[in-house]
Amino acid sequence: MTNAFAARFRFALLVPLTFLTVSLTAAAARAQECLLYSPIPVPKSNEVSDTLTDKDIPTGEGGFARDYTVTLNGGDQVAIDLISDNFDTIVTLLAADGSTIAENDDGPDGSTNSLLFARITETGKYIIRVRAFGETGGGAFNLKVTRLRPV
């Protein structure tokens, strides 16, 4: 009788634990769906006025980043200008696979704004990452992408 009781007791525990495991897995999957990565397309004007907040992508260094997508052509030479009066800017140009093409912290004018120049070798979608240096916070910023004409 004790073996029969133990078998029924294990079965009685197994069913609720199975349902609990399935429920937790489904909840985790739903939570993951909410965290979909979707960079913002740069508009046709190639200019963005936006705000970096603590709701953006955590950098792991205490700050946050906001990503934009832009399609560039092989042979393009681009200047990416990032200006903010609210935080020390860093701009990064990333390939579609996430590899860094170029990055700039401070512009040539001695300010904490960023100015990045890059020559594009392959046509495709690129990511422009706007972020603050370290934990300097966020705030309003202006981003401008200019295709430079070859001389």
Q: How confident is the model at residue 25 (pLDDT cuts 50, 70, 90)?
A: low
Kindly state the helix (H) or strand (E) to which residue 139 belongs, with its residue range: strand 139-148
Distance CA 12, CA 69 (A): 53
| Structure-block tokens of residue 49 | 């006025």
pTM to 2 decimal places: 0.74
118 or 27, which is more confident:
118
pLDDT at 80: 97
Cα–Cα nearest to 115, from 146, 84, 86, 81? 81
Q: What is the pLDDT of residue 51?
A: 96
Question: What is d(CA 89, CA 112) in angstroms, rounded to the nearest whole number?
Answer: 6
User: Which tens digit of pLDDT belongs to each residue from 122-150?
Assistant: 999 999 999 998 776 789 999 999 998 76
The helix/strand/coil state of 105 is coil
Specify the pairing of strand 64-72 against strand 40-41. parallel
Bridge partner list, 147: 78
CA nearest to 72, candidates 142, 151, 148: 148
What does the mean pLDDT of the chain come to? 83
The gap from C-alpha 125 to its chain's centroid, in whole angstroms, comes to 15
* Residues 41-93 pLDDT 10s: 999 999 999 999 989 998 887 889 999 999 999 999 999 999 999 999 999 99
pLDDT of residue 29: 47
